Structure 1
Amino acid sequence: MTTLHPTVERAQALIEFERYDQALELLGRHLAEDPGDVRAWVKIGYCRFHTEGPRQAKEAADEALKLDPEDYGALMLRARAIVDDGGWLVVEPVLREAVRVAPEESYPRAMLADAMWRSALVTHARNTGPGKLSYAEIDRVTAEAANVVMEALRLGPEDLYAHEIAQRIAEAAGNGTVSDQLDEAILRIDPTHSEALGRQTKKAAEAPGVNAVQAAELYAGALAGRPDSPGMRQQLDRATYRLLRGTRWLALLCLVTAGAMINLFPSDDHPAPELPIPIGQRLWSVVIMGAIWGFGAWRRYHKLRAGVQLNVRSLIRRGRWARVVLAQSGWAMLCALLVAGPPWTTLATPRLLFWAGLVPVVATIWFDKKKAR
């Protein structure tokens, strides 16, 4: 291991505390006395990377490489500067040199695989023209990059970045089994990894037989471990919206129940009832509607975990369609109560109320179905 000059060591301590300007000043004075210190040029490059940008960092890396063309730190600094300047398609030669210089390191191989599979896909798209690539084509085009990242995983079995690149390549090639295995390995290394956690939670939430309540619970649980994940928050909002959409079906069920109990649409087999309907039958209709809401909505809501309950209230405040859904549920329920409650002497008015509650809700149920996806 190369011994650092005491001044460079002090600068490194400042860099760790993100005091880049002070480190730059210290390193500048040191290089005025010893312009051939490669490590000082590399440290200056990292300071410039955070204060001035990747192009200035690349200039410092080039100065270090003039002094030692095989310096691993300078090569990786130059590669990182090129990538951050939008150069994924031209960084491959620098990374290959870094791999040659440090063949035992996993990180440069993982970064090389990242550059290779991006470049391979872009080159293939340019050669074949526009059009969606099949999984088989992607698998063939990215095969070399996949081999490189597998070697990186062998060298660094705990290298999180290598696992991330391997997962991206496997997912792009449609290899779901390998992608899931890599996600599990990523979460073993970092249980709060946002992307892996989001993918695994989404897979569980979208599995056959998982309802809106279960999906919301899954997303809320994942979000508790990674509250800064916008993707999981969006998925939780979608699952919560599916929950709210369910209230419209409950309201429609109550409306249909009210219409059936007073026989709004008589037939030969079921003649018109004698009006007004007895108060006992009308009260029984209200009791049944209360039971539908009690077991279908109130009981379900209170069994939800606190995070989902909070998101229900939050989504109602934030989402226009969430408020529309609740308003429609309330309107349909009001019509159901007006159909079943008063002592009507004719069927004309309750029929009008029935259709007034039914049509607006049914007309929008399919229209906004895509919003729950």
Structure 2
Amino acid sequence: MTTHPQVVRARTLHEVIRPEEAREAVGRRLAEDPDDHQAWSLPGQCHPPLGQHSEAFAAALESPRLEPGFVDAHFVLHERTEPADEAIRQILRADPTHTLAVTVSTETEREAAKAGTSAGRAAELYAGGLAATPHSDALQGDLDRAVYRLLRGTRWLALLCLVMAAVTVDVFPAGGGAKELPVHPGTRRWALALMAVMWGLGAWRRYRRLRTGAQPAVFALVRRSFRSRVVLGLATWATLCALLLVALPRSERTVPQVLFWLALVPNLLSITHDRDKVR
């Protein structure tokens, strides 16, 4: 298909860094023929230098919609939105090997690797990149590792609950000041309430605050990764032992001490030998 002279002129203006004039030139061409997909690829390049990112995304979405085989639509990825992701997906459906796939992966990795980026934020970034480039093995691996970092945090919550339970029921009395057993029911109920708050704020609330695209990745990783299931199993085991220590009144300390060590040792061994990998 022959490129219209107005489109050629707009491209030339863009190449010599005259985005305002390039935008006007391509605007005149689109006023003549709104279905010129080659013309629609240019606003995606002209708008970003002018700070008009939303317009760039809308234009980039229009070009592959009119001609799925045409993959000359380019736009910045600094303000990722659903229209932008949809544009990327349409381009990559027409050409899965398009360099845009590499661009999405690179930009996502750069953002997620910034100092101070939490595991949850990294998981959201990788999930967003993977939504746009669903066949990217690199992004899938990065998403798995970010989610695994989230899952590892559950062990520390469980160990905190275990220590709280041990202190509440005085599993290891210090000196001669041993508490009388069983511990008062009100004290044990307070400990149970605090455990519920810790899990609610530390795990459930954190999970619910993840963007929709990142939430399914948690369950998907648990299904696929043995290491992730081990981490969750150990956290669950430690929390269960903590609940047994607090919920069941006991008049002696032998069984609580055994439960404490059975929960603590495997979790500490797992943390010591853990690596930020998913196999």
Q: What is the TM-score with the length of structure 2 in the denominator?
A: 0.63
Q: Find the counterpart in structure 2 of residue 347 from structure 1.
A: 253
Which of 188, 202, 214 is 2:76 aligned to? 188
- Once the two structures are superposed, residues 271-308 of structure 1 have per-residue CA deviations (whole angstroms, 9 ceiling, x without a partner) of 21110101111111111111110111111111111211
Runs of 4+, deviation exceeding 4 Å? 189-192
Q: Find the counterpart in structure 2 of residue 368 from structure 1.
A: 274
Matches within 5 A, 1:1-373: 188=76, 192=88, 193-268=100-175, 271-371=177-277
Tell me by how many angstroms 1:204 deviates: 1.7
**Kept after mapping to 1: 8 A contact 2:149/2:276:** no
Q: Distance in 1 between matches of 2:121 and 2:139?
A: 14
Q: Find the counterpart in structure 2 of residue 155 from structure 1.
A: none
- Once the two structures are superposed, residues 310-355 of structure 1 have per-residue CA deviations (whole angstroms, 9 ceiling, x without a partner) of 1111111111111111111111111111111111111221111111
RMSD: 2.4
- Once the two structures are superposed, residues 21-42 of structure 1 have per-residue CA deviations (whole angstroms, 9 ceiling, x without a partner) of xxxxxxxxxxxxxxxxxxxxxx
Counterpart code for 2:164: T
Q: Which has the larger radius of gyration?
A: 1
**Kept after mapping to 2: 8 A contact 1:264/1:351:** yes
Identity of aligned residues (%): 45
> How many residues are treated as equivalent by the alignment?
189
Q: Distance in 2 between matches of 1:365 and 1:256?
A: 16
Q: Distance in 2 between matches of 1:195 and 1:371?
A: 23
Counterpart code for 1:347: R
Counterpart code for 2:212: A
Q: Which has more helix, going by share of residues?
A: 1
Can you give the 5+ residue segments of structure 1 that lack an aligned partner in the other structure? 1-157, 159-185
Q: What is the TM-score with the length of structure 1 in the denominator?
A: 0.48
Instruction: Work out which structure has the larger RCO, using CA pairs closer than 8 Å and 6 or more positions apart in sequence.
Output: 2
Q: Distance in 2 between matches of 1:187 and 1:271?
A: 70
Which SS does the other structure have where 2:213 is aligned? helix
Classify 1:228/1:187 alpha carbon distance in 2 versus 1 (closer, same or farther; 3 Å).
farther
**Kept after mapping to 2: 8 A contact 1:216/1:240:** yes
**Kept after mapping to 2: 8 A contact 1:187/1:196:** no
Counterpart code for 1:367: H
Counterpart code for 1:342: L
Q: Distance in 2 between matches of 1:347 and 1:187?
A: 66
Q: Distance in 1 between matches of 2:200 and 2:117?
A: 22
Tell me by how many angstroms 1:261 deviates: 1.8
Counterpart code for 1:329: A
**Kept after mapping to 2: 8 A contact 1:242/1:372:** no
Q: Distance in 2 between matches of 1:225 and 1:370?
A: 25
Counterpart code for 1:299: R
- Once the two structures are superposed, residues 21-70 of structure 1 have per-residue CA deviations (whole angstroms, 9 ceiling, x without a partner) of xxxxxxxxxxxxxxxxxxxxxxxxxxxxxxxxxxxxxxxxxxxxxxxxxx
Tell me by how many angstroms 1:217 deviates: 0.8
**Kept after mapping to 2: 8 A contact 1:261/1:285:** yes
Classify 1:312/1:370 alpha carbon distance in 2 versus 1 (closer, same or farther; 3 Å).
closer
**Kept after mapping to 1: 8 A contact 2:145/2:276:** no
- Once the two structures are superposed, residues 156-213 of structure 1 have per-residue CA deviations (whole angstroms, 9 ceiling, x without a partner) of xx9xxxxxxxxxxxxxxxxxxxxxxxxxxx8639984222222222222122111110
Q: Find the counterpart in structure 2 of residue 82 from structure 1.
A: none
Q: Distance in 2 between matches of 1:239 and 1:372?
A: 10
